[in-house]
Each structure stands twice: as structure tokens, then as C-alpha cells.
């Protein structure tokens, strides 16, 4: 069995100060997918000693950044979705082919989609990036091998994926145009949403809560962190859970890690 964890750390340096390291020591994931790293390569390597790290920092300092950290051998890595990405799209997609203990090759992806702001150019950037992501998801699904795409998608798919869905019908992250991309990924291309498969009919389990107010205490959250897998890999998943902190003060990020176990 191998354990894959994905989490938006909301800045890896801040997460390390708040307790990321003891969490890693406690959970011992074999593969760790990180988003919103917001640090250069040297800092990421320093904070993840002993891991093999594939990282893409954003070209805009202090923003985005995605990484794959693994205890398993990496046979190949790919950075980004194109050779000519604009700066706003960097630090949002990395891939690695890892070799599992049984000798299988597992392709893992760490993804961080823009949050966006409805009615502004930021939404245009998000939709343009979602087009590139969708194209790559089609390619990966067509490879016929085990692929796992994990990360902060910044879209709640259905009403059960957001506590206050009525109040967010016109907000970025829950717009019909955004949610339609997830319909394509799951219903047309065939990716499996393990968080929902193992999480039951909902509401929740949520993965993000605002730092502000009583959102965490009241479980007023959003389910925007995912592990998407190819169907054959979904059949090998044995457990999936949101590792929600017991209390507000024990959080190292405004996102909770999403962990899955696979028989590989």
C-alpha cells in the first residue's frame, strides 16, 4: 500500500512554522502533492529534506507554486502545461512518473487552478488555464496507465460541496461555467473523483475553510481539493479521507490534506 497526500499549504514556510513537519512525520505519506508553495527551489528542498522533489515556482514572486515530493523513485518529470506559459499560469502544474514498490509506474500530477474573481480579467485567465488543463487531462486519460491528479482545483462541483451554496451562486469557484469543466472531466473523459466516491453523498466533507470568523468551527467550508484518478487506479484505492485538524489552532493551512491509500 502507498499513501498519497495532497494539500494546499498556503505558503510552505508559513506551514512549516505552523506544524507541517510534525504532520508529515505522523502521517508518513509516500507521495506528497503540494500547492501554493510560494517559495524558490532552495527553500522547498531545505524544508523537505530526504524527499525527491519536482517543483515549479511561479514566475510572479510570492504566488502559486506546485510541487511533488516523493519517497519513491522518479523515472521522469514534466514541468508545466506548455513551453510558452504566461507568468500567471506558472507554478500550477507538475507531473512525475514514480515507480511503486511492486514495480508499477504511477503518473502523479500536482495542480493548482486559479481562484479567479467573477467578472474580471482574472476569470478569463482561469478559463484559459482550465482549457489547457482539460486538454492535458484528455491526453493523460488516453495513455491507458495509472494516473493521479491531485490538488487545489478551486471549484466546488455540486451544492453538497459548499456549505453556503445559495450565497455563492455568482461567486468564483461555484459559477456554472466553472463547474461545467468538472462535468467534462468526470462524465465525458472518465476521471474518478475519489473524494466524493469515498465521502458519501455529502454535504462535505469539506477541505477549505476561511481563516476568518468561525468558518472552521462551524464547518462552513468548500470541497475544492481533489484526487482525480483513472478508473483502474480508482479500483485500487482502499481509503480516502480529509485530514481535518481537531481544532482551529492545530491547522497548518486553511486547507486540510486529502489522503488516499492505494494497493500498488
User: DSSP of 227-238, one letter per residue?
Assistant: EEE-HHHHTTEE
Give yes or no for a contact between 41 and 16, defined as CB atoms under 8 angstroms apart.
Answer: no
Whether 83 has a pLDDT exceeding 90, the answer reads: no
Rounded CA separation 52/66 (Å): 14
Has residue 226 got a pLDDT over 90?
yes
Q: Give the pLDDT band (50/70/90) at residue 84.
A: confident
C-beta separation of 10 from 258 below 8 A: no
CATH number for the domain harbouring residue 177: 3.60.10.10
| Distance from C-alpha of 36 to C-alpha of 168, rounded to nearest angstrom | 23
> Nearest-CA neighbor of 55 among 26, 94, 19, 21?
94
Instruction: Assess whether pLDDT exceeds 90 at residue 64.
Output: yes
Tens-place pLDDT, residues 246-260 = 999 999 999 999 999
pLDDT band at 23 (very low <50, low <70, confident <90, very high): very high
Q: Which of 31, 21, 38 is nearest to 52 (CA)?
A: 31
The C-alpha R_g of the chain, in whole angstroms, comes to 17
Q: What is the pLDDT of residues 87-145, one digit of tens each?
A: 999 999 999 999 999 999 999 999 999 999 999 999 999 999 999 999 999 999 999 99
Per-residue pLDDT, 82: 87
Give the model's pLDDT for residue 160.
98
Structural domain boundaries, residue 46: 2-262
Answer yes or no: pTM beyond 0.85. yes
Residue 106 confidence (pLDDT): 98
**pLDDT of amino acid 107:** 98
Return the SS3 of 206.
coil
Question: Residues in the chain, how many?
Answer: 264
Q: How confident is the model at residue 69 (pLDDT cuts 50, 70, 90)?
A: very high
Instruction: Identify the residue whose cell numbers are 522547498.
Output: 44
pLDDT band at 147 (very low <50, low <70, confident <90, very high): very high
In this predicted model, what pLDDT tens digit does every residue of 154-163 receive, in sequence order?
999 999 999 9
CB neighbourhood size of 237 (10 A) = 20
| Per-residue confidence (pLDDT) for residue 103, from 0 to 100 | 94
DSSP string computed for 110-164: EEE-----TTSHHHHHHHHHHHHHHHHHHHHHTT-S-EEEEEE-----SGGGBTT
Domain count, the chain: 1
Q: Over the stretch 166-220, which tens digit does the pLDDT of each residue have?
A: 999 999 999 999 999 999 999 999 999 999 999 999 999 999 999 999 999 999 9
Q: Report whether pLDDT(224) > 90.
A: yes
- For residue 221 the three cell numbers come to 467550508
C-alpha cell at 183: 462535468
For residue 32, the model assigns a pLDDT of: 98
User: Residue 65: pLDDT band by 50, 70, 90 thresholds?
Assistant: very high
**Are the C-beta atoms of 15 and 9 separated by less than 8 Å?**
yes
Amino acid at each position: 500500500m502507498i499513501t498519497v497526500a495532497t494539500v494546499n499549504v498556503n505558503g510552505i514556510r508559513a506551514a512549516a512554522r505552523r506544524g507541517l513537519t510534525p504532520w508529515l512525520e505522523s502521517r508518513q505519506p509516500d507521495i506528497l502533492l503540494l500547492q501554493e508553495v510560494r517559495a524558490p527551489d532552495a527553500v522547498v528542498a531545505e524544508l523537505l529534506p530526504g524527499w525527491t522533489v519536482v517543483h515549479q515556482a511561479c514566475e510572479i514572486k510570492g504566488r502559486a507554486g506546485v510541487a511533488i515530493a516523493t519517497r519513491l523513485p522518479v523515472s521522469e518529470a514534466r514541468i508545466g502545461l506548455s513551453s510558452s506559459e504566461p507568468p500567471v499560469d506558472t507554478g500550477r502544474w507538475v507531473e512525475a512518473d514514480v515507480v511503486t514498490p511492486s514495480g508499477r509506474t504511477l503518473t502523479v500530477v500536482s495542480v493548482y487552478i486559479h481562484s479567479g474573481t467573477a467578472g474580471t480579467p482574472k476569470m478569463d485567465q482561469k478559463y484559459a488555464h482550465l482549457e489547457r488543463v482539460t486538454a492535458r487531462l484528455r491526453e493523460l486519460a488516453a495513455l491507458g496507465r495509472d494516473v493521479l491528479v491531485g490538488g487545489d482545483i478551486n471549484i466546488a462541483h455540486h451544492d453538497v460541496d459548499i456549505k453556503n451554496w445559495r450565497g455563492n451562486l455568482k461567486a468564483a469557484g461555484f459559477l456554472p461555467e466553472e463547474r461545467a469543466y468538472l462535468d467534462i472531466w468526470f462524465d465525458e473523459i472518465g476521471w474518478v473523483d475519489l473524494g466524493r466516491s469515498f465521502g458519501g453523498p455529502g454535504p462535505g466533507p469539506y477541505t477549505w475553510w476561511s481563516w476568518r470568523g468561525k468558518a472552521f468551527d462551524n464547518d462552513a467550508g468548500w470541497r475544492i481539493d481533489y484526487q482525480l484518478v483513472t478508473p483502474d487506479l480508482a479500483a485500487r484505492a482502499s481509503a480516502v479521507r480529509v485530514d481535518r485538524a481537531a481544532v482551529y489552532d492545530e491547522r497548518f493551512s486553511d486547507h486540510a490534506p486529502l489522503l488516499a491509500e492505494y494497493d500498488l
